[in-house]
Amino acid sequence: QVQLVESGGGLVQPGGSLRLSCSISGFSLDDYQIGWFRQAPGKEREGVSYLSNSGVTYYGESAGGRFTISSDRHLNTVFLEMSSLTVEDTAIYYCARRPPMWGSSWSSAATYDHWGQGTQVTVSS
């Protein structure tokens, strides 16, 4: 069965860094795209970053040059490296699977068919 499991979240001080992992099973990264989303209390789910099945990457405005998405296909894992974190980055971070498609934005949550459980990132002094 299809599974996506996030890990690596936690408490970090402003200016700190975290590396999130999305471990996938039941499908291949060669066949599907992976997006990172986040949701803070009282706010809509926001696209953070995206990795296509062919290796193309995109970042949301919130990334601001601070985030990097990558993958290790042998480990079936997608990473999100985050640095220079601020309190505004506090949220639950999700990874999700997207079937390849054309004519829609990567940041549209409705186009993703499977989601992980999320990992909490808290940036606080």
pLDDT for position 31: 94
Which residue, among 37, 120, 27, 24, has the nearest Cα to 78 in the 3D structure?
Answer: 24
pLDDT greater than 90 at residue 100: no
pLDDT for position 101: 83
User: Do residues 21 and 118 touch, judged by C-beta distance below 8 A?
Assistant: no
Distance CA 95, CA 80 (A): 10
| Per-residue pLDDT tens over the stretch 25-42 | 999 999 999 999 999 999
Q: What is the mean pLDDT of the chain?
A: 96
Residue whose entry in the numeric block shows the structure tokens 């997608």: 78
pLDDT greater than 80 at residue 24: yes
pLDDT greater than 80 at residue 87: yes
| Per-residue pLDDT tens over the stretch 103-123 | 789 999 999 999 999 999 999
Residue whose entry in the numeric block shows the structure tokens 């002094």: 125
CB neighbour class for 44 (10 Å; exposed up to 12, middle 13-18, buried from 19): exposed
pLDDT greater than 80 at residue 102: no
What is the dihedral angle through the alpha carbons of 22, 28, 32, 36, rounded to the nearest 10 degrees?
A: 0
| Per-residue pLDDT tens over the stretch 41-79 | 999 999 999 999 989 999 999 999 999 999 999 999 999
